[in-house]
Amino acid sequence: MVAGMIQSHPRISKAVIPAAGLGTRFLPATKATPKEMLPVVDKPAIQYVVEEAAAAGLDDVLMVTGRNKRPLEDHFDRNYELESALNRKGDAARLAKVQESSDLATMHYVRQGDPKGLGHAVLCAAPHVGDEPFAVLLGDDLIDPRDPLLQRMIEVQEQHGGSVVALMEVAPEQIHLYGSAAVETTTDSDVVRVSGLVEKPDPADAPSNYAIIGRYVLDPAVFGILRKTEPGRGGEIQLTDALQQLAADEKIGGPVHGVVFKGRRYDTGDRGDYLRAIVRLACEREDLGPDFRTWLRRYVTEEMQQP
Ligand code: G1P
């Protein structure tokens, strides 16, 4: 090491993706298929999330899964039978698509057992993560790769230490669907200091319209807090409640900051938003977009007008 050089902290390399939910909003599609495997255009939703982690340099991905989630493991593994069939046909383009998902990151899996909430899912990652900061990515939120968010959050964590959440301003009548943050400005226009957090507040009690969207970079001190966190909203152990404790007492695990995201986010968590996400992404695709946009325009202006 060069004399006088400041020892930099280890680069964040681990991502945790909770994926144990039952996906009841998408029944019957999710009866035997994990909701994370539902296609968004032609890729399973979860692949976008793993791609985002990999693009931010997180090459160690732990998925917290549950019953009926075997297809997730298969999707990120090699499929030799399919690969050799495509090889024999000389179909290099499709072969590349098959191999893409198994080459993204080193994948690990742990099962949650009892679905006791997001906080509990994150706690299941403790033995794998150890004593280093790590990222959490929720599968229902897709962040457009053209508007990188996680990289910025990692930068902010490296600068300030502690934990960082992703925030987005939402309409007041939407805030009850999210964790809401009390914030103070900082000298960086896209960074706020988080002084408090409430999970899914009634609009009248919301500290602000800043909603947590599903990206976090967390100090490992969160595990100690989660072990002691009682069930909160919906009778579940809430990650937001543990973060509230970190925000309230900086001595535990450093400060909590928020990166205010103004880019493109697609919600695949409910059916209407899922359909909107597919239409938007399909419209923007270079291969499918031109034809699809022409059809959509005609459908909206002509066919939809007919009684
Ligand atoms: C979870 C979190 C919530 C956050 C949201 C983002 O809620 O508990 O704080 O705002 O994800 O998508 P869920 O949507 O899983 O109920």
> Quick one: 147 and 165 in the same domain?
yes
> Quick one: 116 and 201 in the same domain?
yes
Amino acid at 189: S
Residue 213 C-alpha to ligand 1 middle, in angstroms?
A: 7
Residue 141 C-alpha to ligand 1 middle, in angstroms?
A: 9
| Residues 132 and 10 sit within 8 Å (Cβ to Cβ) | yes
138 Cβ below 6 A of ligand 1: yes
> Quick one: 36 and 157 in the same domain?
yes
The predicted-structure confidence for 35-71, as pLDDT tens digits, reads as follows 999 999 999 999 999 999 999 999 999 999 998 899 9
**Structural Rg of the chain based on CA atoms:** 21
Q: Atom 7 of ligand 1 has which residue's CA nearest to it?
A: 178
Q: What CATH number should be reported for the domain holding residue 256?
A: 3.90.550.10
Q: Considering the domain boundaries, does residue 194 fall inside one?
A: yes
Measure Cα distances from 284 to 36, 42, 132, 280, 291 in Å: 22, 13, 38, 6, 11
Across-strand partners of 16? Answer: 62, 136
> Quick one: 142 and 285 in the same domain?
no
The predicted-structure confidence for 238-257, as pLDDT tens digits, reads as follows 999 999 999 999 999 989 99
Pocket test for ligand 1, best of 140, 141, 165, 239 (most atoms within 8 A of CB): 140
Q: Atom 13 of ligand 1 has which residue's CA nearest to it?
A: 178
Write down the pTM of the prediction.
0.94
Residue 221 C-alpha to ligand 1 middle, in angstroms?
A: 20
Residue 36 C-alpha to ligand 1 middle, in angstroms?
A: 16
Question: How high is the pLDDT of residue 137?
Answer: 98
> Quick one: 36 and 180 in the same domain?
yes
Q: Considering the domain boundaries, does residue 146 fall inside one?
A: yes
Domain extent for 298: 270-307
* Per-residue pLDDT at 8 exceeds 70: no
Q: Considering the domain boundaries, does residue 4 fall inside one?
A: no
- Which ligand 1 atom sits closest to the C-alpha of 197? 9
> Quick one: 306 and 238 in the same domain?
no
Q: Considering the domain boundaries, does residue 5 fall inside one?
A: no
Provide the number of structural domains found in the chain: 2
Indicate the pLDDT class of residue 124, thresholds 50, 70 and 90.
very high
Q: Considering the domain boundaries, does residue 2 fall inside one?
A: no
> Quick one: 71 and 196 in the same domain?
yes
Q: Considering the domain boundaries, does residue 281 fall inside one?
A: yes
Residue 88 C-alpha to ligand 1 middle, in angstroms?
A: 45
Q: Considering the domain boundaries, does residue 73 fall inside one?
A: yes
Q: Considering the domain boundaries, does residue 6 fall inside one?
A: no
* Per-residue pLDDT at 197 exceeds 80: yes
